[in-house]
Amino acid sequence: MFKSIIRMTLGILLIGQLGAQTQGEIIRESSVRATLSHLASDALMGRDTPSPGLESAATWIENEFRKAGLKPLPGLHGFRHHYAKPGWALKGSDVELTVRAGRTTVILKPGRDVRVFSNVKMVDAEDAPLTRGRRRRGEPRPAARIIEVGTDSPLWRAAEGERKILKSRWGGGGVVLLVREGLLPAGELVGDLHLPAPRAVELDLVNVVGWLPGRSRKDEYVMLSAHYDHIGLKANTGDDVIANGADDDASGTTAVVELAKSLGARAVAPARSLLFVCFSGEEKGLLGSAAFAASPPVPLERIVADVNIEMIGRPREGKRMAAWLTGEDFSDFKDYAARAFKRAGVKLVTFGMARQLFRQSDNWSLAAKGVVAHSISAGSLHKDYHRVTDEVKKIDLEHMTRIIGALRELALELGNAKESPQYNEKGKAVLNRRQRRR
């Protein structure tokens, strides 16, 4: 009884001060660090689309959404928005390989000594050239590229049993085989190689979508999105083969999760509904967002804006506590952003490539269908971009936490605004041209 009176009083106090934050609403650096560290951990193996690591990330995000008090959208399977893509199923042991170098011949045992990492066709080759490690410039295309690995390598483990890859120009490339260290003879390699064609399969891919119903305009939606996939394992010859994608885009996904927790903890929801969306397949050509836009779980004309979050963890030199928008001069979205960011002590700045980048991330899938959608970045195109060195230890957590605080203000700004952001003439011209550079 006493407790409920306290809770009631607290509730009234909160309604009285819409701007005040309760303990649960505060975006904390410790929580940002924990979320980012999980998403960018080696356990998730670089979150390739598709992969067991990506599936594990989806399940984890769903659980965070549930704990944050988000609701599944009616019509979806829980927090999952499914879409299908054609793919290949590769069996790691579906390979026969005999290698020769000079007068040495080695017959490799399928599965135990040699595994298929990547392949999209049948191969039947005798005395074929084989390349060790990276293919060097100007070399003729080999029958297969061979990576020598230890049995503790994530590459070796990923090729155990069956591995699924997308049937696309990104999922193709040449044949990549893994051979256990210490088995290959020295010198130029040729070999007899027999590979069955991989099995064609339909891949079930998933975007994760959570809903925070609006207080008074439930059927108007402000979307906060990021892609939770990355590029997976890099079959290079270095020791580290896992592309963790801490900045790209575990940072954006962390923002979506932390915003869900913070905004879900509010006593009073914004007037409009908020949608928290984590896309898969971005790195394979904006697949998840395109599927979302093609079969949206809510009518697209009801989405007031998509705030897509990309790479917010590594500020440019001298640009800490600052963020920029792709296609900023295409709409008046920047006015909402500038107002909200100011309250959080974050400056909205311009970025030289911001216009070209408008079509390079998931916001474009929505924008191409008329939704006001921009990507927000508070980072740089650093030298670790799409390399195994994009790691958590290089993230500026203080900066990133401040940026998430600013995004929270933006979500509230858009969620409570009477008006909606609109494209201007320049923006409309870009959408009408729809030059998709994929």
Residues that bind Zn ion (CB under 5 A): 248-249, 310
381 burial level (CB within 10 Å; 0-12, 13-18, 19+): middle
- Kindly tell me which of 119 and 363 has the beta carbon lying closer to Zn ion: 363
Q: What is the largest CA-CA distance in the chain?
A: 88
CB of 170 to Zn ion, least distance (A): 14
Phi-psi category of residue 44: left, alpha or beta, with phi > 0 → left and psi -120 to 50 → alpha: alpha
- Kindly tell me which of 262 and 308 has the beta carbon lying closer to Zn ion: 308
CB of 289 to Zn ion, least distance (A): 11
Instruction: With beta carbons less than 8 A apart as the criterion, state whether 95 and 116 touch.
Output: yes
Q: Give the ranges where 360-424 is alpha helix by DSSP (H).
A: 363-367, 397-416
**CA–CA gap between residue 210 and residue 51 (Å, rounded):** 22
CB of 362 to Zn ion, least distance (A): 8
- Kindly tell me which of 220 and 249 has the beta carbon lying closer to Zn ion: 249
CB of 31 to Zn ion, least distance (A): 22
- Kindly tell me which of 170 and 185 has the beta carbon lying closer to Zn ion: 170
- Bridge partners (DSSP) of residue 331 are 423
CB of 44 to Zn ion, least distance (A): 15
- Kindly tell me which of 142 and 245 has the beta carbon lying closer to Zn ion: 245
- Kindly tell me which of 243 and 303 has the beta carbon lying closer to Zn ion: 243
CB of 286 to Zn ion, least distance (A): 10
Buried (b) or exposed (e) across 199-235, using 16+ Cβ within 10 A?
eeeebebbbbbbbbebeebeebbbbbbbbbbbbbbbb
Q: Are strands 199-212 and 272-279 parallel, antiparallel or unpaired?
A: antiparallel
The pair of three-digit structure tokens given for residue 414, joined into one six-digit string: 């858009």
φ, ψ of residue 52 to 5 degrees: the values are: -60, -35
Distances (CA, A) of 167 to 198, 296, 335: 11, 24, 42
- Kindly tell me which of 85 and 227 has the beta carbon lying closer to Zn ion: 227
CB of 176 to Zn ion, least distance (A): 24
Looking at residue 15, what DSSP letter applies?
H
- Kindly tell me which of 248 and 409 has the beta carbon lying closer to Zn ion: 248
Say which amino acid occupies 277.
V
CB of 325 to Zn ion, least distance (A): 15
